[in-house]
Amino acid sequence: MSDDTMNIRKAIIHDVHSIHRLLNDYAAKDLLLPRSLSELYDHLRDYFVLEHSTAFGNEVKGVCALGICWEDLAEIRSLAVSKDRHGKGDGSRLVETCLNEAKTLGLKRVFVLTYVPYFFKKIGFNEVAKSDLPHKIWSDCLKCPKFPNCDETALMIDLN
């Protein structure tokens, strides 16, 4: 599979079932939180996909979302890359795409709640206490099956 056939773009309606499958494969292994089809449709504009284009069609090989939380804060959510693309830098490229969008939107900070903090630390995120995150974020946590016993690590990056 050649990297020149890989493209990151905004997600479209046609991608939702592929995104759902990819995210829920990771969720089944407790590597990220599950997302319902309804939630994906509701937040489709937040998502970027890594698309592999061939003569036979296009296939979603990765996904990442940027959710805006407040006037100066966003969250990286739902980062997943298909197993055959691991180690090729696609996860980092997806996160960088979201960070560039955050900068374009004028956001100052981006955080992530993750089970793989070392990955985000390599990109420049720093660990923070969950209590440092605004209370609005915790309203999303109420929907989480692991609430109130969150076992994810909080990390933040300053975009200035």
Lowest mean per-residue pLDDT among 1-10, 36-45, 70-79, 90-99: 1-10
Q: In this predicted structure, what is the pLDDT of residue 138?
A: 54
Q: How many CB atoms lie within 10 A of CB 157?
A: 18
pLDDT of 119-138, one tens digit each? Answer: 999 999 999 987 777 654 55
Residue spans per domain, the chain: 3-158
Quote the tokens at residue 159. Answer: 């975009």
**Conformational region of residue 78, where left means phi above 0, alpha means psi within -120 to 50, and beta covers everything else:** left
CA distances (Å), origin 128, targets 15, 112, 154:
33, 10, 6
Nearest residue to 157 via CA among 124, 122, 115, 116: 124
3-158 belongs to CATH 3.40.630.30: yes
Which is more confidently placed, 87 or 135? 87
Q: In this predicted structure, what is the pLDDT of residue 1?
A: 42
Distance CA 151, CA 125 (A): 18
Q: In this predicted structure, what is the pLDDT of residue 50?
A: 96
Q: Which pTM was predicted?
A: 0.88
